[in-house]
Amino acid sequence: MAEYDLYCFAQSGNAYRAALMLNLIGADWRPLFVDFFGKGVQRTPEYRENINEMGEVPVLVHGAKKLTQSGVILTYLAEHSKKFLPHGDDERLEALRWIIFDNQKVNGFLGPYRFLRNFAKPQGQPAVMEFLKGRIDNNLAILDKRLSGRAYILGSEPTIADLSLVAYLYYPAEEFGFDIAAERKNIAAWLNRVKALPGWAHPYDLMPGYPLPK
């Protein structure tokens, strides 16, 4: 039996944050597939009662602990493993600032945009997609500027802030209809640095459920 269980599925960038962190710290973990697009397991009373009342992934199980929300999971794993942990109170707050910005602004818009473009039926209406794309462009510009002159979000070392922000950025460009790495050189270099970390894996290789049945 693995030390950690992670409820997840391959298309979820939110789950990818947790799965990637587990892999990077060398944890003994196993993915538990949530059939989000097929059976809609996350919407069942059983899932909400026994796994996550919010009806979401990821869910991390570690012994008697059951944790939800990727920022909480990243923080827990960093504190438990002493890896990718911000140093001191100032860095801890700065990492939290960027994790919240990510959840609300960066992947907070990228996730719905990708879902509406690839998985929703019907697809998102043009006006909605145009609105989301405008927000995405503005927020990626902020991220790209942050990464000018620094290797990682907080400085010379990767932390959970980086692992939060990469959530959707390794998914194929064709799923977005635009190439983030090609358009933003500082983001591209940063993604390559994260990709070079021992234990990195692509979300479609790390979690079950890809490709979706036709």
Q: Per residue in 65-114, pLDDT tens?
A: 999 999 999 999 999 999 999 999 999 999 999 999 999 999 999 999 99
Average pLDDT across the chain, whole number: 97
Average pLDDT over residues 138-163: 98
pLDDT band at 214 (very low <50, low <70, confident <90, very high): confident
* pLDDT of amino acid 115: 98
Average pLDDT over residues 157-165: 98
Residue with tokens 């290797």: 151
Average pLDDT over residues 130-149: 98
Quote the CA–CA distance of 106 and 190 in Å, as a whole number: 15
Give 4's contacts (C-beta < 8 A, 6+ positions apart). 22, 27, 28, 29, 30, 60, 61, 62
| Position 177 pLDDT exceeds 90 | yes
SS (H, E, C) the chain: CCCEEEEECCCCHHHHHHHHHHHHCCCCEEEEECCCCCCCHHHCHHHHHHCCCCCCCCEEEECCEEEECHHHHHHHHHHHHCCCCCCHHHHHHHHHHHHHHHHHHHHHHHHHHHHHHHCCCCCCCHHHHHHHHHHHHHHHHHHHHHCCCCCCCCCCCCCHHHHHHCCCCCCCHHHHCCCHHHHCHHHHHHHHHHHCCCCCCCHHHHCCCCCCCC
Model-wide pTM > 0.85: yes
Residue ranges of domains in the chain, CATH in brackets: 4-83+200-206 (3.40.30.10), 88-195 (1.20.1050.10)
pLDDT band at 45 (very low <50, low <70, confident <90, very high): very high
| Position 34 pLDDT exceeds 90 | yes
